[in-house]
Amino acid sequence: MNEKQDYESVKEVRRINKKATLRSSWKEDLNAESEKANDKQEQEIKTIQLNQLRSFKNHPFKVEINTELYELMQSIENDGILVPLLARPSLGGNGYELISGHRRKAACEWAGINEVPVMICNLDDNQATIALVNSNLHREHIKPSEKAFAYKMRLEAMKRQGERSDLTSDQVGPKSANPILTTFQLTTVYNQQGLWKEVNDEQINQKGYRSNTALAKQAGESVNQIKRYIRLTNLIPKLLDMVDEGKIAFTVAVELSYLKEEEQYELHAVMDLEQCTPSLSQANRMKRMSQSDKLNMDAIYEILDEEKPNQKLQIKIKAETLEPYFPCDFTERQKVELIENLVKEWHSRQAEKRAR
């Protein structure tokens, strides 16, 4: 056996051991939680057809066809699904509503896999919402819009849970002895050392935190930062997309979220026409003008037309003006490079003329 074969053998053994460890881990966790539970509510793992699983209502996390999903698909093809998806029976008994595992489901569809292991449990809307958000907050890449709606859904569910036991308090705590709920209430939190740890809702409840404080601790964010993220849910879709794309800064977006819906559409129209975005100070001015009912399209134009500090010269040329002069297979980058080279050549010729 040569070195390459030996290396591949070691890799295969490690992969098998990892697979066995992960499967053993989630089974041990579920068994331990089940033993702690006071009730005998039945839960089971079934093999379910993908067409029987529908997405969770208002699911805030986007499933995108990208490199990460492709890598997940390859992992599933090689090792199978190591952790079952989580779902609850749909109302009317027609299929199941997926709570955790939307990306795994999409990866299976991509791979041509038609059935998956699913843990079926009975959760009410609040419990299901909390489980959904908790199971996604550990992801490495989460868009601002995803965090915004996830935090909002989570906080509202926590408050509703508190209202059932004490109408004067929005403290959060487990309202059910459901063993599966307890498992998914173990929330991943990023601590100061940069390590992931688990915080149980019951422990937080015993400390007497309010819902927003509990959520902040579980998410590893400050209470004010949670509030800022939730403010983003007031943005119109076009502006929120620009936040996700990094075209509008987070702090600027928070200020713009205070604008009325019509004002936001007017702002986006001006931004699109002028190919510019507001600075934090400009966004703050628009917010104040909106609060005093003085913001209109003319005011938006005037504010955005101001020259920002260190603002660079921008020259706008309509695409259709230059399009006839480029080969049809030219990319945008090639077009820009050609224009830059032509300008440099023109500048060199002008310098030569002046030198004569």
Give the DSSP letter string of 57-119.
Answer: TT--S----SHHHHHHHHHHHHH--SS-EEEEEPGGGSSEEEEE-HHHHHHHHHHT--EEEEE
Q: What is the mean pLDDT of residues 281-299?
A: 95
pLDDT band of 268, cuts 50, 70, 90:
very high
Residue 253: CA atoms inside 13 Å, Cβ hemisphere, count? 28
Q: What is the mean pLDDT of residues 272-290?
A: 94
Residues 143 and 153 in one domain: yes
Give the pLDDT score at 17: 53
Residues 133 and 149 in one domain: yes
Window from 82-86, 109-113, 169-173, 342-346 with minimum mean pLDDT: 169-173
Residues 221 and 239 in one domain: no
Give the pLDDT score at 188: 32
Q: Which of 168, 158, 260, 263 is nearest to 216 (CA)?
A: 158
In a domain, 153, yes or no: yes
Domain containing 246 equals 235-304
pLDDT band of 58, cuts 50, 70, 90:
confident
Residues 190 and 142 in one domain: yes
Q: What is the mean pLDDT of residues 148-167?
A: 70
Q: What is the mean pLDDT of residues 60-83?
A: 83
Would the pTM of this model clear 0.85, i.e. be above it? no
Number of domains into which the chain is organized? 3
Residues 299 and 326 in one domain: no
Residues 178 and 229 in one domain: yes
Look up tokens 């404080």; give the residue. Answer: 213
Record the tokens describing residue 282, joined without a space.
Answer: 């400009």
Give the pLDDT score at 209: 52
Record the tokens describing residue 127, joined without a space.
Answer: 């419990």
In a domain, 192, yes or no: yes
Residues 148 and 186 in one domain: yes
In a domain, 199, yes or no: yes
Residues 138 and 221 in one domain: yes
In a domain, 172, yes or no: yes
Q: Which of 183, 202, 138 is nearest to 29 (CA)?
A: 183
Q: What is the dihedral of CA 262, 228, 147, 289, to 10 degrees?
A: 10
